[in-house]
Each structure stands twice: as C-alpha cells, then as structure tokens.
C-alpha cells in the first residue's frame, strides 16, 4: 500500500513540477521569478527527493 501511495505522490509532484517548469520556461530568460515562487519550487523538489528516498528505502533496487 505504501509503495502505491509513494508512486502516486511522485506522479502528482511530477505533474506539479512539469506545470511550474512549463510556466517558467514560457517567460523570457531575463525575467526573474519571485522569491515566493522560488521557495515553492524548492520545497516541491525537496519533497520529491524525500519521497524517492523513502521509496528506495522501502523497496531497495537490487
């Protein structure tokens, strides 16, 4: 059950990350995202990394 939840979380986070990256890639390269959005993206990535770590801990790849 935990494995399914983890993978579902990762998929949801992937969707959020690809959403935010498509938004950021559509703005001009010189435009800076605000601090708040940066922190949000950072938190999302951090959460995603932790989920992957937890997944690997519960289901080690041999």
Residue of 7, 26, 18 lying closest to 45 (CA atoms): 18
For residue range 3-56, list pLDDT tens digits in order.
555 666 666 766 665 555 555 555 555 556 688 888 888 999 999 999 999 988
Cβ neighbours of residue 17 closer than 8 Å, sequence gap 6 or more: 41, 44, 45, 48
* Residue 1 pLDDT > 60: no
Query: Are the C-beta atoms of 51 and 6 separated by less than 8 Å?
Result: yes
pLDDT recorded at residue 62: 65
Provide the pLDDT for residue 36.
84
**Which is higher by pLDDT, 34 or 2?**
34
Please give the Cα distance from 44 to 24 (Å, whole number): 15
How far apart CA 39 and CA 58 sit, in angstroms, is: 28
* C-alpha angle 29-30-36 in degrees, rounded to nearest 5: 95
């Amino acid at each position: 059950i935990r494995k399914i939840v983890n993978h579902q979380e990762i998929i949801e986070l992937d969707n959020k990350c690809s959403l935010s990256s498509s938004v950021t890639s559509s703005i001009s390269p010189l435009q800076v995202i605000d601090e708040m959005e940066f922190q949000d993206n950072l938190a999302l990535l951090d959460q995603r990394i932790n989920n992957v770590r937890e997944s690997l801990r519960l289901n080690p790849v041999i």
